[in-house]
Structure 1
Amino acid sequence: MTVLIRWMRAFLRLGTGISFMVLITAVTVQVVGRGFVGASPVWTEELTRFALLYLAGFGTGLALLTGDLVNVDLVSESLPGRLPWVSRLVSAGLVLAFCLLLIGPAMHFTRIGAMQTSPAMALPMNYAHGSVLLLLAVLALAALLRGMGMLTGASDGRPENLMGEIE
């Protein structure tokens, strides 16, 4: 289980890094174009939006796996005994359930995008809409791995690097 979680983290880090590099490149082309040439290519606006969508798609699952997604640790970690662990497991289960519930509509939304094209880059919009499907699928898989990791003892579901903790 630990190896699977490591591979998933590596894949999500790679996807997040590539999305971020595309975003940085597009914004750099925009800034240089507007600042030194007088106009930037119109495709940079769209590429920036697409990169942000994929950055969220990959980054959200990564944040859930590492524990960096927004948590209400103040409440859950102050509970007595085993209740903090149970609340983290229930949270992972609820995230998984909601993602699975939304994957079908997201697939439909993505299919609709195949009939449309983006105005500047002339790409089928299912590439943009697919980022929502990616986000839900990655988040569902991350929640499943987190829950399985907790149940097998590979993880306790707590964030990897809590601020103020000594490693």
Structure 2
Amino acid sequence: MTFSIRTGVKEDIPALCEIEHDAAQAYRAVGYDFCADGAVRDEEEHLRGINEGALFVSESEGEPSGFILLWPVDGHAHITEISVATRFQQHGIGRALIDKGEEWARNAGYSAITLTTFTEVPWNAPFYRSIGYSDYTPGADEPELASVQSTEAEYGFHAKPRIAMVKRLKS
């Protein structure tokens, strides 16, 4: 399957919300129905990426197939969301989006990229470890990441074990 990656724009947001909801259905297979039934990133969150961080969209077969949303958080790039529509999964799109996000972060001068994820879901923490991310405990000087984790807990994501992860970026 061929795909391309481009910078996201405001007009993409409705399609990206649909992609995120569709991709979240995979969590049902591991008993995380609360993820599949939960809210998706809203317009304001996507616009924060467009205006302050980055939003990259993959296109396959002439339509958006996935995206990665990054925000600056405590002086690091932070992967806020990455989703690939179910019918386009398992074709390398997610990995390519991560690579694009890491490239953007390096070019923007960030020395690290962070994310939060579930520890026991195969395509979450185990996958990220396989591509160079490590478990990470945010320090007291990282209140924004603590706020991200607090917001996730408010949305019910604390129902299953979650961690922060980091990857140090080489320039």
TM-score band w.r.t. shorter chain: under 0.3
TM-score, length-normalised on structure 1?
0.26
Larger Rg: 1
